[in-house]
Amino acid sequence: MSAAQDWDVIIVGGGIVGAATLYKLQTRYPRFRILLLEKELALADHQTGHNSGVIHSGIYYKPGSYKARNCVDGRRELVAFAKQHGVKHDICGKLIVATDPEELPRLEKIHSTGLANGIEDMRKVTAEEIREIEPFCQGIAGVHVGCTGIIDFRGATEKMAELALALQPLSRVALGETFEGIASSDNGSQVRTSKGTYRTRYAIFCGGLQSDRLAKADGAEVKERIVGFRGDYYELTAQGKHKVKHLIYPVPDPRFPFLGVHFTRMTDGSIECGPNAVFTFKREGYGKTDFDLGDTVDALTYGGTWKLFFRNMGYGINEYRRAFSKRLFLKTLRRLIPSLTMEDIEPGRAGVRAMLLGTDGNMVDDFRIERKGHHIHVLNAPSPAATAALAIGGHIVDLAAKEWSLSEV
């Protein structure tokens, strides 16, 4: 085997978490030769490149949780990174709006959580103040979060990889190369791909929608399973764009692991509204009728999936109806902006979110990273993982340094 096929670390997965890990690891260990493997022909081609583009504040997450700490720290680091390296972004702020008196206790709890998590530039707003910020939005109370914004996550991912490779010219990003297997030995591991075999001392897996399969391919015991949920978006047309200036969110329902349909001003000036959340029959499928037999069998032969379905039957049916009905989607949007019309919205893109689902039908809410010998697996990195990516990458490097004694290498 040639020297060019020997690596200090191989990272599998070229989303923003994989790229952030590459950047953090290369920064701390500039001598390391690191190979990042990505099966698509571009970085950030799945969850990272299909998400809402929002820089999350950390206001929703349980105080003290890994998700809360890393979102707040990661957001601040991401914004600083974007400013320093010219990544397109805008800290435009967002409104969380209550439209029904029953939502007020939940809105108050969100505000209290934000205080506990140390969210800066956050304040309660009245109905009148909501209209001052967003003239077409109607609500009875809200919370304004000034530190939230939007960013080009694809651009951020590409910049992280670019900076890492500038630190070590012998490192490489391999696109269009699919991971096929890994075998451990006394001197490290051998990684098989669609284009060859590589020898590495250490391996880090950041597989997103495929994370459970990658862990199982490595012989790790994973009782849970990744289940994909597609989110469909609409866009505001030229005649409707003036009705949204920043970011507008509803008060989320705590019974469901999603933030609800919201309005997002993107970095290119377009306004997206969505997403809904429906079970997808293809993990990496972005069309309403996309289907993959293996993905479908994996999901529907898993008991946790059916427990989730039965527990949320009404919600799931409503989400599917809305996925195929512009009228129903508009009805949901009009809760926040009553003046929207059918002519104000048009179908947009879609994304798929990977959720690690337990055997009891409950979604694993927090980030989850585990070690198996000289391998590290990011098993669960749901939203706000993109916002928190640099913090997650730093945590992975800290874990590697401790468990693999990298300081001695």
Predicted confidence at residue 185, as pLDDT, reads: 79
| In the chain, ranges of CATH 3.30.9 domains | 225-244+259-363
Q: 407 pLDDT exceeds 70?
A: no
- Which of the four pLDDT bands, split at 50, 70 and 90, describes residue 180? very high
Predicted confidence at residue 409, as pLDDT, reads: 45
Angstrom CA distances, 258 to 62, 196, 197, 224, stand at 15, 40, 40, 19
Mean pLDDT of 365-386: 93
Q: Facing residues of 189 across strands?
A: 184, 200
> Of 363, 370, 366, nearest to 205 (Cα)?
370
> Of 129, 152, 147, nearest to 92 (Cα)?
147
* pTM for this prediction: 0.94
Asked if residues 57 and 148 have their Cβ atoms less than 8 Å apart, the reply is yes
Mean pLDDT of 299-314: 92
Predicted confidence at residue 312, as pLDDT, reads: 86
330-344 pLDDT tens trace? 999 999 999 999 999
Diameter of the chain measured on Cα atoms: 70
Asked if residues 276 and 319 have their Cβ atoms less than 8 Å apart, the reply is yes
* Amino acid, res. 88: K
| In the chain, ranges of CATH 3.50.50.60 domains | 3-48+154-224+366-408
Mean pLDDT of 17-30: 98
- CB contact set of 160 (below 8 Å; sequence gap of 6+): 16, 19, 20, 22, 23, 81
**Of the CATH numbers 1.20.120, 3.40.50, 1.10.10, 3.30.9, which one belongs to the domain with range 225-244+259-363?**
3.30.9
The chain-wide mean pLDDT, for the chain, equals 94
Task: At 396, list the tokens.
Answer: 């992975």
* Amino acid, res. 327: R
User: In whole angstroms, what is the distance from residue 97 CA to residue 241 CA?
Assistant: 19
Q: 4 pLDDT exceeds 80?
A: no
Predicted confidence at residue 257, as pLDDT, reads: 64
Predicted confidence at residue 127, as pLDDT, reads: 98
Percent of the chain with pLDDT over 90: 86
Q: 179 pLDDT exceeds 60?
A: yes
Within 10 Å of residue 377's Cβ, how many Cβ atoms?
24
Mean pLDDT of 64-68: 91
Within 10 Å of residue 31's Cβ, how many Cβ atoms?
10
Q: 408 pLDDT exceeds 50?
A: no
Mean pLDDT of 339-352: 96
* Amino acid, res. 15: G
Q: 34 pLDDT exceeds 60?
A: yes
Q: 159 pLDDT exceeds 90?
A: yes
Q: 5 pLDDT exceeds 80?
A: no
- CB contact set of 403 (below 8 Å; sequence gap of 6+): 371, 376
96-132 pLDDT tens trace? 999 999 999 999 999 999 999 999 999 999 999 999 9
> Of 133, 159, 155, nearest to 144 (Cα)?
133
Sign for the pseudo-dihedral over CA of 224, 226, 227, 230: positive
DSSP secondary structure string for all residues of 281-349: SSTT--STT---HHHHHHHHT-HHHHHHHHHTHHHHHHHHHHHT-HHHHHHHHTTT-TT--GGGEEEEE
Angstrom CA distances, 79 to 160, 363, 369, 391, stand at 13, 29, 24, 12
Asked if residues 214 and 204 have their Cβ atoms less than 8 Å apart, the reply is no
Percent of the chain with pLDDT over 70: 98
CA 23 to chain CA mean position, Å: 18
- Which of the four pLDDT bands, split at 50, 70 and 90, describes residue 43? very high
Percent helix, strand, coil in the chain (nearest 5)? 35, 25, 35
Task: At 314, list the tokens.
Answer: 């009404």
More confident residue, 260 or 63: 63
Predicted confidence at residue 319, as pLDDT, reads: 83
- Which of the four pLDDT bands, split at 50, 70 and 90, describes residue 2? very low
- Which of the four pLDDT bands, split at 50, 70 and 90, describes residue 186? confident
Mean pLDDT of 218-238: 94
User: According to CATH, what is the number of the domain 3-48+154-224+366-408?
Assistant: 3.50.50.60
